[in-house]
Amino acid sequence: MMNVSRLEQLRAAWRETLSFEGAPIEEAAIEALLKRQSRDVIRQFRVALLMDIALKAVIAVALAVMLWLHRHQPGLTALNTLTLLGTALCIAFERAALNAIPGPELAGGSVRAALEAMFTYYHVRFTRALYLVGVSGPLVFYTGVVHYLWYRYGGLRPFDGIDLAVFVIGLALAYLLSAGAQQAHFRRYLREVEDCLREIARDGAEPDADPAASLRARRLRHSLAWSLVLLVGILLLAWLALR
């Protein structure tokens, strides 16, 4: 009698399983399916960016109104002009990140190529875009506070030290909460992609055993650079408001 290993027996059982054929896919069902929104991560990237672009567009309108309301105050005019320009730049950058999202053709390539493309997109474009998405928090806080003070008191009185501290802390908290929430939302997916990349590179002859390592180092450099930009921005804001 032939000696058949257990694994080969299971493989034979696999081959003979007719249930994998399942019922034929009906045309009506597929029509409904094709109109459905996918829940894949590419769509989640797209939704996150589109929602934020829409929010920043509303903020830009609010800033334009503020610019007009405070047109006789040179300090605030300069600050609002800078903020409006910064918001427009953020929208432009996020739009570029949106356009760079890998297309559906990626799915037809190898698993390794798709994983690398998603990992690279995430690090090179999406992470930077998320820092800008986080800017929406302080922008909402800033426009909200200035509008409130205008409608409540008819304008802004000069800030004293405590006012400024509260304002700067409010801005910083709004940024940390907003950017932190976005980063945390996608971090788990990134870890899963990293794990798969490590798994695919394991046992191979490829020299780069951990393709994620260099990109992780780049992410750290980006984080430091953006933190520096944020710090300079807050200091500039403080200086303009103090004048």
Partner 1 sequence: MIDRAEQSDFLAKVQEHRNIIRKVGWLYGRNNADREDLEQDILLQLWRSRESFDGRSAFSTWVYRVSLNTAITFRRRQRPSVPLDHEPQTPARQAEEAEFTDELRQLHGAIARLGAIEKALILLWLDERSYAEIADTLGISTKNVSVRLVRIRAKLAHLVGDKEDS
- 31 near partner 1 (CB under 8 A): yes
Residue 210 near partner 1 by CB under 8 A: no
Stretch that binds partner 1, among 14-22, 87-95, 158-166, 230-238 (CB under 8 A): 14-22
Does 104 sit near partner 1 (CB under 8 A)?
Answer: yes
CB of 59 to partner 1, least distance (A): 29
Question: Per rule CB under 8 A, is residue 5 in the interface with partner 1?
Answer: yes
Q: How far apart are CA 164 and CA 50, in angstroms?
A: 33
Binding to partner 1 by residue 10, rule CB under 8 A? Answer: yes
Reduced to 3 states, what is the DSSP secondary structure of residue 119? helix
Q: Minimum CB separation from partner 1 for residue 170, in Å?
A: 32
User: What ranges make up the beta strands (E) of 145-220?
Assistant: none
As a whole number of angstroms, the distance between CA 58 and CA 143 comes to: 11
Shortest Å, Cβ 98 to partner 1: 17
DSSP assignments along 125-161, one per residue: IIHHHHHHHHTHHHHHHHHHHHHHHHHHHSS-PPP-H
Separation CA 169–CA 181 (nearest Å)? 18
Q: How far is the CB of 65 from partner 1 (least distance, A)?
A: 39
Cα 108 to chain centroid distance, Å, stands at 25
Query: What is the identity of the amino acid at 99?
Result: N
120 contacts partner 1 (rule: CB under 8 A): no
User: Is 2 a residue that touches partner 1 (CB under 8 A)?
Assistant: no
Nearest distance, CB of residue 38 and partner 1, angstroms: 5
d(CA 161, CA 84): 25
With respect to partner 1, which residue has the nearer C-beta, 56 or 125?
125
Return the structure tokens found at 37.
Answer: 């929104």
Instruction: Give the helix ranges, DSSP H, for the chain.
Output: 6-16, 27-34, 41-69, 74-99, 111-121, 127-134, 136-153, 161-201, 212-242
Asked if residue 184 binds partner 1 (CB under 8 A), the reply is no
In the complex, minimum distance from the CB of residue 53 to partner 1, in angstroms, rounded to a whole number: 22
Which one among 72, 105, 151, 152 touches partner 1, defined by CB under 8 A?
105
- CB of 136 closer than 8 Å to CB of 176: no
Both tokens assigned to 176: 């940390």
* C-beta separation of 136 from 144 below 8 A: no
Q: Is 47 in the site for partner 1 (CB under 8 A)?
A: no
By CB under 8 A, is residue 1 in contact with partner 1?
Answer: no
Binding site for partner 1 (CB under 8 A): 3, 5-7, 9-11, 13-15, 17-25, 27, 30-31, 33-34, 36, 38-42, 44, 104-115, 118, 188-189, 192-193, 195-196, 199-200, 203-205
